[in-house]
Amino acid sequence: MTDMATHGDRMKFLHNQWYAAALSTEIGGTPFPRTICGEDVVLFRTAGGTLAALEDRCAHRHAPLSLGTVDGEVIQCAYHGLCFDTDGRCVRVPGQDSVPPQARVRRYPVAERDGWVWLWIGEIDRAAPASIPSLPYFEGSADSAGWAGFQKYFHVKAGAQLFVDNLLDLSHVAFTHRNSIGSSAAADAAFAMEVSVDGTTVRGLRQVFDVEPGPFIANWGNFPGRITRRSRYTWRPPSVIDIEAHFHDAERAITIMVINPITPETETSAHFWIGWARDFALGDRAMTERSVEENTQVIMEDVEVIEAQQRVLSRRPDVRAVPIAADRAVVAVHRVLDRLFADQTTER
Ligand code: FES
Ligand SMILES: [Fe+2]
């Protein structure tokens, strides 16, 4: 196992990538500011329904456009009323007939898929929505038949990679989540793990045999006793993880898809979403509501550790992690990232 990069080495963002920027339901006719990879962006929908993302800075005297309003097909700055179209071109200056040609702001390619708004950070010509991962389990998907669940946003005061590493390392479940989806006994249970790398995609499989399910899973699947847990997970750059979690005993089996896009806000803060979809009790709205609360508890258990980890790393950016056997997927992902960051440096 090779050394992992220090946290300090990783303080940069991958460009020419689609990043989850918001839930589709978050973006309407009111300008919505969000910082993505250190860039301040304003997202909005025009009256005609066009989804747009612009630099959150007016070209005139730099007031944030997110303080303004959407008026028909343009966004109007709250300071002196300049109007910008969805390409970022100024199309009107109140009180004068002409528009200075240099009055424009940067536009970001955006696309909507599976209930998320995805935003391209990088060279505009290279943005191809076909490379957005397909995650068809939610109401915003073209076909989500057979799944029921929810999508929810969390702001995290820690670098995005710390949350990615958390999700790739399922051995923390027995400890961090012992009161929710884990059980401490699982730490010593028999388990099998496989990790494979296919281009820039890393896949893992982890199975734990004959363990207590933990209170939430016992309840979701009506499991009276011990179960087998199987998690298949996929990481794709820049930082999207999906986990197919399968739980079964001799008589019952349930599957839950856990989808986690994680987007850097700054080097030390991140946007995190959980998309959670189950293949059972599809019409049970009370279960959906309960699972929002339960999963929020699970995520906050992670957030508490990760934010504390960030506080340590902010004071000690020079330290290196010491990989253990359970970190195989983490190490594989860091190797792919090293390659992608090296390519990015060469391209410049
Ligand atoms: S700063 Fe936006 S119109 Fe003047
Ligand atoms: Fe966790």
43 lines ligand 1 (CB under 6 A): no
Q: What is the largest CA-CA distance in the chain?
A: 76
The response to whether residue 78 sits with its C-beta less than 6 Å from ligand 1 reads no
Q: For residue 180, which ligand has an atom nearest its CA?
A: 2
Using pLDDT thresholds of 50, 70 and 90, give the confidence band for residue 274. Answer: very high
Atom of ligand 1 nearest to the CA of 81: 3
**pTM across the whole model:** 0.93
φ/ψ region of 229 (left if φ > 0, alpha if ψ in -120 to 50, else beta) reads beta
Ligand 1 pocket mutation, candidates 58, 65, 74, criterion most atoms within 8 A of CB: 58
Closest approach atom of ligand 1 to CA 62 = 1
User: Using a 6 Å cutoff on CB, does residue 91 contact ligand 1?
Assistant: no
Q: How far is the CA of 117 from the centre of ligand 2 (A)?
A: 24
pLDDT above 70 covers a percentage of the chain that reads 94
Half-sphere exposure for 74 (CA within 13 Å, toward CB): 17
Closest residue by Cα to atom 1, ligand 1, is 61
Q: What is the 3-state secondary structure (H, E, C) of the chain?
A: CCCCCCCHHHCCCCCCEEEEEEEHHHCCCCCEEEEECCEEEEEEECCCCCEEEEECCCCCCCCCHHHCEEECCEEECCCCCCEECCCCEEEECCCCCCCCCCCECCECCEEEECCEEEEEECCHHHCCHHHCCCCCCCCCCCCCCCCEEEEEEEEECCCHHHHHHHHHCHHHHHHHCCCCCCCHHHHHCCEEEEEEEECCEEEEEEEEEEECCCHHHHHHHCCCCCEEEEEEEEEECCCEEEEEEEEECCCCEEEEEEEEEEEEEECCEEEEEEEEEECCCCCCHHHHHHHHHHHHHHHHHHHHHHHHHHHHHHHCCCCCCCCCHHHHHHHHHHHHHHHHHHHHHHHC
| Spacing, Cα 166 to ligand 2 middle (Å) | 6
Residues 151, 153, 158, 162, Cα dihedral to 10°: 10
Nearest-CA residue for ligand 1 atom 3 is 80
Ligand having the closest approach to the CA of 92: 1
| Helix-helix angle 285-315:160-168, to 10 degrees | 120
Instruction: Tell me if 80 CB under 6 Å of ligand 1.
Output: yes
Which ligand lies nearest the alpha carbon of 66? 1
Q: Which of 13-27, 171-185, 315-329, 332-346 has the lowest mean pLDDT?
A: 171-185
Q: Which range is least confidently modeled, 129-143, 172-186, 273-287?
A: 172-186
pLDDT for 118 beyond 60 = yes
Interval between CA 102 and ligand 1 midpoint (Å): 14
Question: What spacing in Å lies between the alpha carbon of 158 and ligand 2's midpoint?
Answer: 14
Q: Distance between CA atoms of 67 and 60, rounded to whole angstroms?
A: 14
Interstrand relation of 201-211 and 83-84 (parallel, antiparallel or unpaired): unpaired
69-83 pLDDT, tens digit each:
999 999 999 999 999
Ligand 1 pocket residue status of 92, Cβ below 6 Å: no
Q: What's the pLDDT tens digit per position in 304-346?
A: 999 999 999 999 999 999 999 889 999 999 999 999 999 988 8
Q: What is the pLDDT of residue 2?
A: 42
Residue 162: per-residue pLDDT? 97
With a 6 Å cutoff on the Cβ, whether 82 touches ligand 1 is yes
